[in-house]
Amino acid sequence: MTVAATGAAALREIKNRFDLVILDLKLPDIDGETSCKSIREISDMSVIMLTAKSAEDDRVKGLCIGADDYVIKPFSVRELVARVQAHLRRSKKDAKKELSFNKEVLVINTVAQEVKKNGTVVPLTNTEFRILLILLRG
């Protein structure tokens, strides 16, 4: 477990490939919504927003910008732990390390986020990689 006190520190840490982040929306430097958008640009890890913002519009906005779950303060620690476990269980189930297609002409390493065609790395942005996985997984 790693704790970051600011949005900038969290974004630096995210590059270490975590499975899940619990993101408070009221951070001292970068607001949580902006942090979530930035996380989505570099990772598809599970994001649980943890916030006092309880209005329906806030919850919908959080989910639309990339959060996988939205927990409102005050919250039950047991429920938060159960939600974390559910997200991790699902991400482990969905994550296959390597997918190959057309007799290994196209090979996708989901952990390294790398695509190879005929053994040559195909440079993709994070968004392009996520779209490719969505299309392939149907």
pLDDT tens digit string along 49-75?
Answer: 999 999 999 999 999 999 999 999 999
Is 42 inside a domain boundary? yes
Q: Which residues contact 17 (CB under 8 A, 6 or more apart)?
A: 43, 45
| pLDDT tops 60 at residue 106 | yes
Q: Are residues 85 and 104 in the same domain?
A: no
Angle among Cα 112, 30, 25 to the nearest 5 degrees reads 85
The CATH number of whichever domain residue 54 belongs to comes to: 3.40.50.2300
Q: Are residues 81 and 105 in the same domain?
A: no
Domain range for 120 = 96-137
Q: Are residues 81 and 107 in the same domain?
A: no
Is 1 inside a domain boundary? no
Taking the C-alpha atoms of residue 100 and residue 32, their distance in angstroms, rounded to an integer, is 36
pLDDT tens digit string along 18-44?
Answer: 889 999 988 888 888 999 998 888 888
Q: Are residues 109 and 121 in the same domain?
A: yes
Q: Are residues 86 and 103 in the same domain?
A: no
Q: Are residues 46 and 100 in the same domain?
A: no
Structural domains in the chain (count): 2
